[in-house]
Structure 1
Amino acid sequence: MKLIVAMTGATGSILGIRLLEALKEAHVETHLVMSEWAEKTMLIETPYHPDDVKRLASYVYESSNQAARISSGSFLVDGMIISPCSMKTLAAIRIGFADNLISRAADVILKERKKLVILPRELPLNSIHLENMLSLSNAGAVILPPMLTFYNKPATLDDAINHIVARTMDQFEIANDLTKRWLSR
């Protein structure tokens, strides 16, 4: 399996980092693009350095490189995950404003009818955010807000992060045991 993973400057860098770790453990080929602000936010929020995170990916591209192979529908991938996704990037994808590699790659994924999973990060959401998400959902994207769950009784922040990563991987049917699954009694 080959996936594009993009990280934007929205808060929640650890979600993208943990996703890359889990995809590497699952032997998924990853094509990583981080925006300039993703790298800056990562330094603020986490103990990770962007260079360390880039080493988790199979391939890495500069967000300004519109000539990268992931900007073409002729490059075959199984889908794309944007984690975390800023409202700026969400809006750009919605209107087809492919001014960087992240929004261009997402545009290609949608036009090729591949799976695009977006983990939007903002709180609270305004009507513009919600309309953008609805529009992208109608265009075929999966909107997967990184929301807390409690049925699995998370004891740590890592438990909550792993649950979100597991549910993201579930979208591509990638086997994982990162979280406790729902069991009815």
Structure 2
Amino acid sequence: MKIRKLKAIALITVSLFLIGACGNPSHEGRSEMHSHNENEKGHEESGEMGEHEHGEGMEHHMEHMNDVRAWLKGELGDNYDNEVPASTDEEIMAGKTVFMKVCQSCHGTSGKGDGPAAAGLDPKPADFTDPGHSKYYSDMGRLHIIRKGIIGAVMVGWENILSETEINNVYAYVRSLRNVDGESEHRDHDHAH
């Protein structure tokens, strides 16, 4: 079983690097940048994007995010807004270990969506440090994304590869990357890479 998991992880990682190596001409040369901050309206109200390139694709990006949120609410129903319990430092560190093995090629070592494979992906991987993106989906919604993946994106579901504990730990790490008032949500956690 462990060898099967490792083979699956290796295959996914290689595939993502190959996708990234091909590039995505539709995003090349675009430099329009937008920022999220707590004083701005949310994505759906303002159309603003995070600190990453969107250019002419901003409308497509918002449409995709709205579709994903609608799908999540349909999948999770009344559970969509359920709270996810706080994590321990041990869970966050265990999640960081898994994240660096299977997530960083797309999401980058600091969770900004700038991993080596990200350049060739459309839609771009989520920036977990961006407050606007962090708030767009509920915590239960983000856990569901890790489990099931996202249709229409390269984000694969990990429920058949990672254990439920590993999935929860990865999310604990991802949640710890959120910026709240310029600091990570889990202020006492060291994010040195």
TM-score after normalising by structure 2: 0.25
* Rg larger in structure: 2
Name whichever structure is richer in helix by fraction: 2
Name whichever structure is richer in strand by fraction: 1
TM-score after normalising by structure 1: 0.26
